[in-house]
Amino acid sequence: MTLQQLGYFLAAFRHGSFSGAADELYMAQPSLSEQVRRLEAELGVDLFQRVGRGLVPTEAGHTLRPHAERTLADAEAARESVVAVRELRGGIATFGTWGTARHYPGTDIVADFCRRYPDVRVRIVGQNSSEVADAIREATLEAGMVALPIDDRGLEVRPIMRDELVYVSNDPGHVRRAMTIERLAHAPLILPDASFGIEDPTRRQLAELAQRAGVLIEPQIEVEDVEAAIELAMRGLGDTIVARGILLSLGRRLPKALGWVPFEPAIYDQFAFVSRRGGRLSPATQEFLRLADERLSALAERLETHPPRRRRPGG
């Protein structure tokens, strides 16, 4: 039994003849009647009585009709649902990010996507790049944006931009000159991503640099988010490390009491799009990635000049 056969049966039912059904479907009458005969043979019953040149449905034909209509309606609904996803009239864009991605500019990307495709749902998850990479590997996420380095087993990684890290303090003496890894080992550090620790890509990068320099970096205070680290630094409880993209996003909300200097040599957070190697992205997630790429490329250009690489406290 095929959907085509059920469609031919219903057309014959409506018209009371094979010729009328064939005219409706723009096909040859013998082909249509042959398919209905095959359906009857498969079911083992007659669906119509042949009366002259017309057709009269049998009891079996009347019984089959509602089931055939429901089956064809369900098939059409299934087809339409896939078309809606393909044409971004439905479906869901699933994307993973780290906790501060809203500064890069995550919320702007979501808002832009929702304005363009109001019928597509959006699901943004993740607190840290390492867990996003794991979720993509396990196929609970389609794609994401992460900070490198990560464990890239089974993943496609496409770098998109980098953001320079700066050393932030409210003590003018601490930001008089560029920071080095060696001096950072003795600094009163406040670092975010307490739950992830060394799995956080920024911390991992700092630890690798410290290891090569023969020193150890241990924060005095650990918090979950960068905003808390900045506030504690503003209160003079220690110094922190912030990416310039976050400074740009905070803008006037950034306390004037804080100043910053770059590292020598410069240290960067490197960001990348990741997806499962060999996986196929849904149209919605593909479009979300395209908009994210567009936005981040524009941000990368802005970071060439804003904000300044150094600022004195109170400036």
- What domains lie within the chain, and their CATH numbers? 3-86 (1.10.10.10), 93-302 (3.40.190.290)
**pLDDT recorded at residue 184:** 97
Q: 189-191 and 121-125 as β-strands: parallel, antiparallel, unpaired?
A: unpaired
Residue 176: per-residue pLDDT:
95
Count of residues for the chain?
A: 315
Tokens standing for 264?
A: 């020598």
DSSP 61-116: HHHHHHHHHHHHHHHHHHHHHHHHHHTTSS-EEEEE--TTGGGTTHHHHHHHHHHH
Instruction: Give the model's pLDDT for residue 80.
Output: 60
Closest CA to 187 of 220, 209, 144: 220
Give the model's pLDDT for residue 53.
76
Q: Are 210 and 216 in contact (CB under 8 A)?
A: yes
| Cβ contact 18:55 at 8 Å | yes
**Whole-angstrom Cα distance, residue 131 to residue 136?**
9
CA atoms of 134 and 152, how far apart (whole Å): 9
Its sign, for the CA torsion 177, 179, 180, 186, is positive
Distance CA 121, CA 135 (A): 19
- Written as tens digits, the pLDDT of the chain (315 aa) is 899 999 999 999 999 999 999 998 888 999 999 999 999 999 999 999 988 778 999 999 999 999 999 999 888 777 765 654 455 666 788 889 988 887 886 788 889 889 988 888 888 888 789 999 999 999 889 999 999 989 999 999 999 999 999 999 999 999 999 999 999 999 999 999 999 898 899 999 999 999 999 999 999 999 999 999 999 999 999 999 999 999 999 988 999 999 999 999 999 999 999 999 988 888 888 888 988 999 899 899 888 888 899 999 987
Cα-to-chain-centroid distance, residue 28: 49
**3-class secondary structure, 314:** coil
pLDDT for 82: 61
What is the maximum alpha-carbon separation in the chain? Answer: 105
Q: Which parts of 172-314 are beta strand (E)?
A: 189-191, 221-222, 239-243, 259-262, 268-276
Please list the helix, strand and coil fractions of the chain in percent, rounded to the nearest 5, in that order. 50, 20, 30
